[in-house]
Amino acid sequence: MKTVFFGPFIGEFGWEMLYWHAWVNKVSKSKFKNYKKIVASFSGRESFYPNADEYWAHPDEFNNYFKSCNGYITDFWKNGFPRGNESIQKNLLGILKYESWKYFESIDNQVDVKAKAEELLNSYKRKLPEDTEYFIPFSPNSFEGKVFGIFGDENPKSDICIKQIPIPFQEQSFTVLEPPKKTFSILKDFIQPELPLIAIYPRNRINRRPDKNWNKLNYFKLIDKLKREYPDHKIGIFGSPGEAFFDDNCPEGCIDFINLPNNHRMNIQVAALKQAKIAIGSLSGAMVVARTCNVPVLTWGLSRDSSRFHDENQLDIETIFHSIQYPTSDEIFKLSKAIINEEINYKVPYRDWCSLSFLKNRNGNDILLRYRLKGFLEKIGYASNKIFG
């Protein structure tokens, strides 16, 4: 029996969900169904790959290098590129908002992460048969006439020298994410099976788009409102250590789903989401995972990101994208209530439903003129980024 190896995946959480795992699962059931299929990724993500014969988790010593993930790779991949960045809004003539970027340069002793990823790959290759077929997300790949992965200069001198080509959605097969059945017995130590859950994802990344982070105080305010409104619900705090608020101190009365062993964290979170009525958090890859677990999601961010987030909704799960970069806790609380209480009668696709109009007149199916104008001006502003950014 021939062997096919998928990995090692060392990149962005959301990219593994959107541009990798669903393709691996599809070809594992078709082209490679009679192969021995081995997948390598971060510890605890076995549930992403139900068709794999073996799952190899990266050794902990390598994970220290795979931070500030960016697509299929990480920031500072080679020669300090690509750089970490942050979206900054500026004003043209004090009227038209447009987007610019602030970049984070690599530190003096920055290690080329690419070298560490290749070292990890070679450690896996030593355990595999010589005729193994490889699909490596951080390298150029070709499959049935389609190319994907990382392309560009071997010795990059700028961010644009590294080109990432994702796998198109139509080449993948998306399904609702399910945890290993044994995980539910572990979950009972955190929450009783009959209790409804509200999942909070308090994103807090430093070098990779910190503009997506919400204010920590806003999360405190939101959690307090939700506790008072839903005393019969449990509130869970989700995320990863070092990339989420409250990884050092979970709010009182909430369940800590962050500080769990690496090899169990993701499986336990996926199992817990089966009891969730909603997942709430600023735009991040974690919100993609929550939605893939068939959980309604409420997220927010720059309006230019709205279309992409809805495009990524391949399973057509209830989604509200609130097109405000830094909303108030009261706005998010009102929208959360509308989802939890099933108050919304969607008469248009989720992408066309307007949260701003809903907050104004309780009808998100018709976009108010002021918000149409706001969206139009923002599109002009984002287009201006190439000129003024």
Name all domains of the chain by residue range, CATH numbers in brackets: 3-69+111-171 (no CATH), 183-387 (3.40.50.2000)
Longest dimension (CA), the chain: 66
The pair of structure tokens assigned to 273 is 């989401």
From the list 59, 68, 176, the residue with the least C-alpha distance to 123 is 59
Write out pLDDT tens, residues 308-351: 999 999 999 999 999 999 999 999 999 999 999 999 999 999 99
- DSSP labels for 146-174? EEEEEEE-SS-SSGGGEEEEPPPGGGS--
Could you give the CA distance from residue 321 to residue 26 in angstroms, rounded to a whole number? 29
HEC assignment per residue over 226-246: HHHHCCCCEEEECCCCCCECC
Cβ atoms within 10 Å of 305's Cβ, excluding its own:
19
Q: pLDDT over 90 for what percent of the chain?
A: 77
Question: What's the pTM value of the predicted model, to 2 decimals?
Answer: 0.89
Q: What is the pLDDT of residues 339-387, one digit of tens each?
A: 999 999 999 999 999 999 999 999 999 999 888 887 776 766 665 555 4
Residue 243: φ, ψ to 5°: -130, 15
